[in-house]
Amino acid sequence: MKVNYIGKISEENLPAIFVPYFLESVHAGFPSPASDYIESPIDLNKHLIKNGAATFLVRAQGQSMIGSGITDQAVLVVDRSIKPKHDSIVVASLDGEFVCKRLKLKPKMCLMPDNPEYPPIFINHGQELEIVGTVTAAINKF
């Protein structure tokens, strides 16, 4: 801390009501030095959900996406307003069932598991695939 020396005070020329602020008052009701810096507590909803109206939670089942850190029973945050790109993790409906995989658009479109034990899913002619939304986070509880 830097202090500027202003001058010397002698008790004789002080007015009667002088109160030494910097001694007593500091402990009595001085505002908290943190008051200017108070923030609201961390809100996981805000952190995880950007667009509430378009966001749904889905429970993942199985080990096929373990390489992306999605464990069995993880809760996935799915945002339907985010357009999926190549390599996005998506929830899609395939033949009437939801699946969570990595979307590959090249060289050939497929749904790629993040686990070498599972084969990629290529979409055959006549199969119905609809991308429901992009997975923006996975919540694993231990």
Enzyme catalytic residues = 64, 101
Report the b/e string of 2-32 with b at 16+ CB within 10 A. eeeeeeeeeeeeeeeeeeeeeeeeeeeeeee
Of 64, 60, 74, nearest to 113 by C-alpha is 64
Residue 57 as a binder of another protein (CB under 8 A): the answer is yes
Residue type, position 68, single letter: S
Number of shown-chain residues binding another protein (CB under 8 A): 26
- Of the listed pieces 10-18, 19-27, 34-42, 46-54, which binds another protein according to CB under 8 A? 46-54
Determine which residue in the list 66, 77, 99, 103 makes contact with another protein, applying CB under 8 A.
99
- Of the listed pieces 5-13, 28-36, 38-46, 75-83, which binds another protein according to CB under 8 A? 75-83
Q: How far is the CB of 87 from another protein (least distance, A)?
A: 18
Classify 135 as helix, strand or coil: strand
Determine which residue in the list 58, 68, 115, 123 makes contact with another protein, applying CB under 8 A.
58
Determine which residue in the list 66, 76, 103, 112 makes contact with another protein, applying CB under 8 A.
76
Q: What are phi and psi of 48, to 5 degrees?
A: -95, -25
Of 101, 118, 54, 51, nearest to 80 by C-alpha is 54
Residue 121 as a binder of another protein (CB under 8 A): the answer is no
Cα–chain center distance at 5: 49
Determine which residue in the list 49, 71, 98, 136 makes contact with another protein, applying CB under 8 A.
98
